[in-house]
Amino acid sequence: MCMIDEIAKPIDKPPNTVFHAGIGGMAKRFADHDRIEWHHHDCGQIIFGASGVMRIETAGGLWFAPPERALWMPPGVAHAITMLGAVEMRTLYVAREHLSEPAARGLTQPRVLAVTDLLRALLLAAFDAEFSRRAHLLAPLVMDEVERATTLAAFLPMPATPALARLAAAAMADPTWSTDFTTLADAAGLAARTASRLFPQETGLTFKRWRQHARIMTAIEHLNRGERPKAIARALGFSSQAALAQSFRTVTGLPPSAFDR
């Protein structure tokens, strides 16, 4: 599994679209492993993949958006996107005028969203011939659906301090996923007790829970290389395919098939 790349100075990337009533759309097809490098926008962004899985990197961690799910990206948040499989991306840009009181509306942080039938229809409506005439009607409905949407647990938080980042990198590089915490902490130059105290402070998860999340995010990448769940379970140290499926549901709320390309 890839770690978050070192963040170069992100570019301020104006959306490649024409805005109507404060919203604009971009449709683009990407091949497997295509990448959009670090950038940010001065507007909100709804990133929707009709097919394929996207891995979105931010300074805080890794987000995974499976097909028919969407990612809300707030204004000003630096991010990079890697395509895991061929991706049919539909992006809707939302001007700040539609983002009043973002903290109260739950729009200050990235979120992977369950896309309702209505939200899907609204997103796709931004690309039809009537969009410019109806944009003023679509914008408030889109944002209302984004606010109401269920947030999916498809996020892997990453520690920020160098020593804990080394520990996390070593854990994800371990092919057996079984190296004990003390050994990983020692290799990172930390006392196990100190690492155990600091890791949840930086990630919000105990190391045991974080490694479970990391293993599932690695499994998502295996799925998008065309590997089958039984082989993935064996490769990542799960006792069975059923155990892999249960862990997927625990971490993401979805079965492995939801992330299969």
| Residue boundaries of the structural domains of the chain | 11-152, 159-259
pLDDT value, residue 14:
60
Asked if residues 92 and 142 have their Cβ atoms less than 8 Å apart, the reply is yes
Could you read off the pLDDT of 95-154 as tens digits, one per residue? Answer: 888 887 665 467 888 999 989 999 998 888 888 878 888 888 888 888 889 988 888 878
pLDDT value, residue 124:
86
Could you read off the pLDDT of 101-117 as tens digits, one per residue? Answer: 665 467 888 999 989 99
Q: In angstroms, what CA-CA distances link 158 with 74, 77, 114, 147, 154?
A: 19, 16, 23, 25, 13
Could you read off the pLDDT of 21-48 as tens digits, one per residue? Answer: 788 888 899 998 899 999 999 899 999 9
Asked if pLDDT for residue 214 goes beyond 70, the answer is: yes
Of residues 259 and 8, the one with the higher pLDDT is: 259
Asked if residues 75 and 43 have their Cβ atoms less than 8 Å apart, the reply is yes
- Alpha carbon 59 to chain centroid, angstroms: 12
pLDDT value, residue 130:
80
- What's the whole-number average pLDDT of the chain? 86
Q: Is 133 helix (H, G, I), strand (E, B) or coil?
A: helix
Could you read off the pLDDT of 35-93 as tens digits, one per residue? Answer: 999 999 989 999 998 888 899 999 889 998 888 789 999 999 999 999 988 899 999 99
pLDDT value, residue 6:
45
- CB within 8 Å of 130: residues ≥ 6 apart: none
pLDDT value, residue 102:
64
Task: Tell me whether strands 35-40 and 11-12 are parallel, antiparallel or unpaired.
Answer: parallel
pLDDT value, residue 128:
81
Name the CATH code of domain 11-152 (choices 3.30.70.1900, 3.90.110.10, 3.30.70.141, 2.60.120.280).
2.60.120.280
Domain over 159-259 is classified CATH 1.10.10.60: yes
